[in-house]
Amino acid sequence: MKISKLIYPVVMLSPLMLAGCADTGIDDYQVEKPQTIAEYEYLNAYEPLKTYVDRSAHPNFKVSGALTAADFNKQEMLFRLAAHNFDEIVAGNAMKMSSCVDGDGNMNFSTVSDFVDKAEEAGISIYGHTLAWHAQQPKKWLEGLMKDKEIEVDPDAKVGKVDYESNYEGLSAFPFYVMGYTPTIVNNCLHSENPGSWYQYFIADGFSVAKAGDYSAIVKCKATEEGSLTLNCGWGWNGDESASGKLNITTDWSDVEVKFTGIPEGKKLNLVLQPGGFAGVIDIESIRFVHYEAPAVEIPQNVYTCTFDDGNNVGGWGGTSTREVVSGGHDGGKCHVVHNPTAGNSWECQAAIDFSTPLEKGETYYLHFWAKATNAGSRSASYQNPSDYSGRGDYPAFAVSSEWKEYTLKTSITGDDCKRLCFNLGAFDGDTYLDDIEIYYMKKGNSIPLTDQEKKDTLTWAMDKWIGGMMDACKGKVKAWDVVNEAISGGGNDGEGFYTLQHGEAANNDNGVSADFFWQDYLGDIDYVRTAVALARKHYAASLPEGADASDLKLFVNDYNLESNWDDNKKVKSLINWVKKWEADGVTKIDGLGTQMHISLLVGDDEAAKAEQESRNQHIENMFKLMAESGKLVRVSELDLGVERYVDGKKVAYTTEELEKLPLKERLAIEKAMAAHYQWIIKKYYEIVPAAQQYGICQWCLTDSPANSSWRKGEPVGLWTLDYKRKPAYAGWADGLSNK
């Protein structure tokens, strides 16, 4: 459906306004327009927003608006409003990962495909938001991909876990309830002889299991002749409250297994042997009641690792000894060397490693490392409490030579507050070299955590699947994207004086678990963005019809608080610095920078308000200058403007309801100040950003925010009211775009 003509809603008008000066049949009588209507009537003269751009001066500039894809797809009021006023639209949420991928990894792009098709019909382009972000991700699925992998074992190689075990050692008489026949105790065994008729007796009683399931009784026994006897496992006096099996006894001592199914948890269990008419003599030495599990293996749990390849050293002391990191490690990398000029006691020259979390008393810890020395001989390693140097466990001595040798030692921790490992090197002069030191303990289990590389590979696959699915759904019709959203934190130091990237640990909420999923925690700060860019370009090209130009794709990194005055625009400076790092490989190309300007105009005649607003304005200008100097395309990606004032020394936002209660003159002054600020922002964008770098500006809130909204709740942030009537802010946008 092509949009050829749209009937625009009358703005701020009542039925009286529609009538104008009505002829009532009474001479010289006219109906006067209410003042409120008259004050806003000028807005009717404005044309659609996109018509105000001088395309010869700003050939690439796009007037953009954000909305929900579902509302646009209905082709009702928002559809008409968007198509009438904007060159480009952005879906607020529909193109984010969690909107298309569920907790099991199932992908559904039906809303996106419909959105793309209807935008094409309306002659309006779509800006994609967003391919890689930490928020609104299918966290359950992504974390599930990185769960511990099951260890492959022989499914038949089960290990028996003993739930109950007993014998008759030291007993002089039958210990259980007598049921007509009483066995005796002979040579620490339960001994029974055929009484000449059917009989039975307890061989165990009064035990229970913690978990319902299948169990086996393993009876160590022999008889004077072979036979098949009945063994019951019971938990009540009724006949249906038991499980039964056959005990196949032989004339030699052996462990005979009888399997039972459906054993309940928590019930008092008993085992009753029913020889029946068996004529032989029976001896029973012991009973075990077991269940079976897959075999567990020991999995290393790392406590400390140091390769020295990063140049970091470990501590130590001793006389005139010195220590440094040098080249020549066992694998060609770097290693640690201790220079000891004089031999003495072993503890008089040490290499020491401190760790913040104490090792657990009683646990066995392994020490793996490589070593060599210019003076061969026996060295040792031991643990300490660093506060008083008291010992906490010694490893066996190890002999070193002039050649690199690999060692794995183990010891148990003997006391609390064990936070230091010492290599005792003082018994020999010369140089002792250490490399690839690792401390770990063993944990038994049936699964093993993925390695860091396995996690990275797995998530790269997941990102590839997601971006590929999205690009395929868009069919090459969405030519500009936020490839990475909100990557930069507002603190930390990346090593060059700029902010670090956001990470899960820093973003934890009150209960210590972040609701978000940070790809960079696993892909790394550099590869996170490079991977997203590479996959976006690969899949965009694959989605194009034959002959289409893949270079049309424009990829932006988008972030917020870039205009911030409280840190002197440090965040935008940090973003630009990170872009340089990401592009340093000569392959990765980021086309543009996006700035989310969710800002407020501070009104008031007091000097504090004026000074604060002036500072904000200066930093908006500075942000545009820095972005322009980057050489990248510049996009105002999410512009919305609220208004606030000082109340008791604190800045408080106006709500739409509060504005509407103000006297008309005061309310109109504030609304026109907001319009003027919109106009000023667009003017500064035009002035500062070269035309070749002007991608455009997106109004994030088309209408005022509803009172129940999660975004700027109840604030007057729109160009239209909630019933789609133009506001003075609309005029500010139009005047700014026309460069009045």
pLDDT, tens only, 396-408: 899 999 999 999 9
Given a cut of 60, whether residue 450 has pLDDT beyond it is yes
C-beta neighbour count of 545 within 10 angstroms: 7
Question: Has residue 27 been placed in a domain?
Answer: no
Do 163 and 286 reside in the same domain of the chain?
yes
Q: Based on the structure, what is the number of domains in the chain?
A: 3
**By residue range, what is the domain housing residue 188?**
159-293
pLDDT, tens only, 541-555:
999 998 889 999 999
Kindly report the average pLDDT of the chain as a whole number: 91
Do 412 and 352 reside in the same domain of the chain?
yes
User: Do the beta carbons of residue 641 and residue 601 sit within 8 Å?
Assistant: yes
Domain with residue 556: its CATH number is 3.20.20.80
The candidate with the shortest Cα–Cα distance to 291, out of 213, 205, 221, is 213
Average pLDDT for 696-724: 95
Confidence of residue 16 (pLDDT cuts 50, 70, 90): very low
Q: Encoding tokens for residue 52?
A: 């105000």
Question: Has residue 207 been placed in a domain?
Answer: yes
Question: Has residue 566 been placed in a domain?
Answer: no
What is the number of alpha carbons within 13 Å of residue 102 lying toward its C-beta? 5
Show Cβ contacts of residue 279 under 8 Å, excluding neighbours closer than 6 positions: 194, 225
Do 372 and 347 reside in the same domain of the chain?
yes
Average pLDDT for 470-485: 97
The candidate with the shortest Cα–Cα distance to 350, out of 327, 381, 388, 376, is 381
User: Do the beta carbons of residue 664 and residue 39 sit within 8 Å?
Assistant: yes
Question: Has residue 681 been placed in a domain?
Answer: no
Confidence of residue 310 (pLDDT cuts 50, 70, 90): confident
Q: What is the pTM of this model?
A: 0.67
Amino acid identity of residue 710, one-letter, is S
Do 391 and 482 reside in the same domain of the chain?
no
Given a cut of 60, whether residue 589 has pLDDT beyond it is yes
Domain with residue 322: its CATH number is 2.60.120.260
Do 138 and 231 reside in the same domain of the chain?
no
Do 370 and 427 reside in the same domain of the chain?
yes
Average pLDDT for 691-717: 96
Do 242 and 287 reside in the same domain of the chain?
yes
Do 278 and 321 reside in the same domain of the chain?
no
Confidence of residue 23 (pLDDT cuts 50, 70, 90): very low
Given a cut of 90, whether residue 309 has pLDDT beyond it is no
pLDDT, tens only, 639-691:
999 999 999 889 999 999 999 999 999 999 999 999 999 999 999 999 999 99
Do 347 and 468 reside in the same domain of the chain?
no
